[in-house]
């Protein structure tokens, strides 16, 4: 099956720092999604990307759909303590209207020091 | 928050016993999914449904079955639970929208299952 490599696996950063993480695929996707998961909760959708080269922001979060369609990046600016959690990328390679079978990365665990 | 309720939230069961997990949605979404989450593996798709009585296998479907008799309910059954099925199980839903937005799956809060 398709593989998604997400890096880094974990990050321990200072409050106020910017954060970058990325996801690469062995094959082409036509949709990239970024989720955040907090302890004891399900993943929550942060950003959705549908076009190669697309750059989308959601508050302090910015994500990009790579030109090759095999990668995506998530940046968090000026991190705050509530950014703590696990961030997952997810990709999809099917045509619109068919069932959504997302492939997930293994996650980036973010911890923020005060 | 999407109206997704999973039950039970926690369960401990013995090896060899049948277990059924329930996912209930109030969004009238067409697609429903069951994922399992394990350390080092992220989220892996078990089964999914694209309509009432329409289901298909995901990448880790062995040992699991599903049923969907109503739009709002999607059941996951472990016919004979094994220790390897100890995991956190998540239900997700999505709906077809023009432009590809049906890939935006929304997740429930999860069911933590322990098989002893």
pLDDT in tens, A6-65: 999 999 989 999 999 999 998 888 889 999 999 889 999 999 998 999 999 999 999 999
CB contact under 8 A, B107 and A44: yes
A114 touches B: beta carbon within 8 Å: no
A67 touches B: beta carbon within 8 Å: no
Quick one: what percent of chain B has pLDDT higher than 90?
A: 79
Q: What pLDDT sits at residue A2? A: 60
Structure tokens that stand for B16 in this block? 């060899």
CB contact under 8 A, B109 and A40: yes
Contact between A95 and A78 under an 8 Å Cβ cutoff? The reply is: no
Distance, in angstroms, between B107 CA and closest chain A CA?
6
Looking at the predicted structure, is the pLDDT value of residue A1 above 60? no
Query: In chain B, what residues touch A40 (CB-CB under 8 Å)?
Result: 109-110
Looking at the predicted structure, is the pLDDT value of residue B4 above 80? yes
pLDDT one-digit tens code per residue, B92-104: 998 876 665 566 8
Contact between B109 and B7 under an 8 Å Cβ cutoff? The reply is: no
Structure tokens that stand for B81 in this block? 């639970």
């Amino acid at each position: 099956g398709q593989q998604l490599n997400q890096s880094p696996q974990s990050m321990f950063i200072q409050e106020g720092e910017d954060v970058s993480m990325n996801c690469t695929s062995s094959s082409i996707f036509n949709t990239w999604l970024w989720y955040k998961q907090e302890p004891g909760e399900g993943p929550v959708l942060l950003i959705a990307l549908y076009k190669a080269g697309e750059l989308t922001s959601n508050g302090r979060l910015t994500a990009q759909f790579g030109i090759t369609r095999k990668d995506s990046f998530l940046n968090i600016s000026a991190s705050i303590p509530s950014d703590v959690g696990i961030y997952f990328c997810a990709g999809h390679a099917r045509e619109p209207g068919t069932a959504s079978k997302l492939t997930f990365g293994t996650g980036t665990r973010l911890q923020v020091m005060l | 928050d999407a109206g997704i309720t999973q039950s039970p939230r926690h369960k401990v069961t013995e090896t060899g016993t049948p277990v059924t997990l329930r996912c209930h949605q109030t969004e009238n979404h067409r697609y429903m999914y069951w994922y399992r989450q394990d350390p080092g593996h992220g989220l892996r798709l078990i089964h999914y449904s694209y309509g009432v009585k329409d289901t298909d296998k995901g990448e880790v479907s062995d040992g699991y079955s599903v049923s969907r008799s109503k739009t709002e309910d999607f059941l996951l059954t472990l016919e004979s639970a094994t220790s390897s099925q100890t995991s956190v199980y998540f239900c997700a839903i999505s709906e077809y929208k023009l432009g590809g937005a049906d890939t935006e799956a929304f997740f429930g809060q999860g069911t933590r299952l322990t098989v002893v």
